[in-house]
Amino acid sequence: MERVYLGDWLCNAGIIGFLKINHHLWKIEREKLISQDESLLKFGDNYLEFDRKIFEGFSERFFDYAFHQYGRYENLLNLFKEYIEDLQNLDDEENFEKLAKKYFKNKDIKIENLPTLLPVEIFDRFKRILQGFTLLKKKLNKIPSKNDIKKDKNLLIDVLNEAISIMESEREEFWESDVQIYLRNIYGQKSFLNLSVNKDRFEKFYKDFEKPLIESSVKRDKTYKCINCIDRQAKKDTIFDTGISKFYGLNPDSVNFVWNFKPKLPLCEICEIIYFSYFAGLIPVNKNGKTVFYYVNSDTSLESLLKENLLLERKLTKEISENPFIEFFTELVLMSEEERARYTLQNTVIIELDLNNETMPKIYSFNISREKAEFLVNNKENFQKLSKVFYKIKNDSFSVLPEVIEKTLNNSLNFKYLNRLIKLHLKNANDSSYYATNITSYQLQLLNLLTKEFLQKVILGGTDMGIDENNLWSIYYQGIDLAKKLRESNAENKIQSIAYKLLNALRIGDTNQFMDVLIRTYMAYGEEIPSTFVKAISDKNTFYPLGYSFLNGLLGKEKPKEVSNNE
């Protein structure tokens, strides 16, 4: 069995890519990484172990993964079919408006001219595609002129049908060509990616990698061990260069920076194929019209590393908020195993690669301090209870938990945010068509507790704020009791006006105004004001958490016997 340990981020990306290419050999079941065949593949805490038999059929799996990740072939097949359908829809005037919006969104055209304009527009788009798709362009017969297309759109339909037929009947050649084009942009010109190789690319990869890996027939350097694993003997004449990474390794142009003026660094065949698999560990995303790649790196465990990258992939491949990294980190908080959580949160970074630019990758680090990581971990259950909470302003919807996480990360979580959510809660209670939220008074109280603890333990460095959680819950229940008293006195309609006055006093930090409203309300119904509020007059640190606790209780309807995650 061969073993590869977690190491630098590129090696780690290679391990994740190697696992994705061999995805048929593992699964995640009940949050655990499980091997489907331990005679071929085993998982250690910080290493991957496999038998060389795993390389049987590896070339095809490698090519398939790169082919689908590139995605050009399938995308263009579907696009050409879509073009044909749209051209055929020109026969019905009912489709004109829809087609005009689709193809001429920002152009002022006359609808009646669409039968002439649309074929020309699609023809121009098709020709631009062919400029970057040399293989298809060479295989197509003579393409009609633009004037011919204007006269007869069926000529364009025929060309599109011919393109589809060629691509489908000669798929294997497009498969090999597209993989070479795609990976050459990532790795440079190693093996089958060399510019001189223009046929039998798959066979070249098989002979260079799969066959010698299975047969253990790699020629080895007599002197040097692998610079990565420091265990296996290096492969003879391996060059740790642009064949591994354009930005990470060395190439002959860099000899002035290399010891003894040699760009060759010893690497074994196992580590070489791991590094050569790193493309599959990256997540391609369209950003501002070009493809960039993302990868999560952490040094906790192999299982965590894989799960984190699968999580980020899910977040980046579906349309979500404007900041998917916060959504990723939010879920990472919720899924972290308790014993590893703080370490995981402190040591996770997201790497962005622009492979058309050889500058170093961008690193997105959340810079989690020990105190902040412990705050996130210790309050995991409370965060879970906020996971389904949202609010809407007009037509825009916002999730509360990612906002809370983001504010935690950038040290801006404070009582102003809580004040805003309570205001939305009150407006929602008034059946406002402009505002809506599903947040409950209990969840507002949870956020109050989170805010108080964050300020105390992270911002104030552990300074005692003079009030504990039991006191805050006690005040919360006293708010509930007052609301109950008002309902029993047929004064439920006054709860909202009292709440608004208390909320405003909290917003501006006016303890006198808050106490004045409170005293008047209690006196009006013959009740005694809670003694705990005496503390609020002298100390702003206790005023906010106490005041919001009471207000949250006032907005509740009854004492919760047992709180569920859905409340």
Tokens 């354009």, residue located? 246
Average pLDDT, consecutive stretches of 10 residues, N- to C-terminus, the chain (567 residues): 88 93 90 89 92 94 94 93 92 87 82 88 93 91 88 92 94 93 81 85 92 90 84 78 53 46 72 90 81 82 88 74 69 64 67 67 70 80 85 83 84 90 84 80 93 88 77 90 87 87 90 88 81 67 88 76 41
pLDDT at 320: 47
Q: What is the dihedral of CA 201, 202, 204, 210, to 10 degrees?
A: 160
SS3 34: strand
- The length of the chain, given as a count of residues: 567
Q: Which long-range contacts (CB under 8 A, 24 or more apart) does 533-539 make?
A: 533/475, 535/466, 535/467, 536/511, 537/511, 537/512, 539/466
pLDDT at 110: 83
The DSSP-derived string for 320-339 is --S-HHHHHHHHHHHHS-TT
Count Cα neighbours of 217 within 13 Å in the Cβ-side half-sphere.
8
pLDDT at 335: 65
pLDDT at 25: 92
The sign of the dihedral angle between the CA atoms of 274, 278, 279, 282 is: positive
Give the separation between CA 103 and CA 58, rounded to whole angstroms: 42
Q: How far is CA 527 from CA 33, 475, 518, in A?
A: 59, 15, 11
Q: How far is CA 448 from CA 454, 478, 544, 545, 552, in A?
A: 10, 16, 9, 6, 9
Give the separation between CA 369 and CA 326, rounded to whole angstroms: 17
Give the separation between CA 210 and CA 203, rounded to whole angstroms: 10
pLDDT at 125: 93
**8-state DSSP, 434:** S
Give the separation between CA 385 and CA 326, rounded to whole angstroms: 18
SS3 484: helix
SS3 141: coil
* Per-residue tokens: 98: 């829809």
- What are phi and psi for residue 399, nearest 5 degrees? -95, 135
Q: Are 466 and 539 in contact (CB under 8 A)?
A: yes
Q: Are 177 and 201 in contact (CB under 8 A)?
A: yes
Q: Name the residue ranges covered by the structural domains of the chain.
A: 56-171+184-217, 282-368, 382-554
Q: How far is CA 29 from CA 25, 125, 427, in A?
A: 13, 46, 44
pLDDT at 300: 75
Q: Are 6 and 302 in contact (CB under 8 A)?
A: yes
pLDDT at 563: 43
pLDDT at 503: 92
pLDDT at 120: 92
Q: Are 7 and 299 in contact (CB under 8 A)?
A: no
Give the separation between CA 367 and CA 349, rounded to whole angstroms: 9
Give the separation between CA 298 and CA 89, rounded to whole angstroms: 52
* Per-residue tokens: 411: 């040290």
Distance of CA 350 to the CA centre of its chain: 9
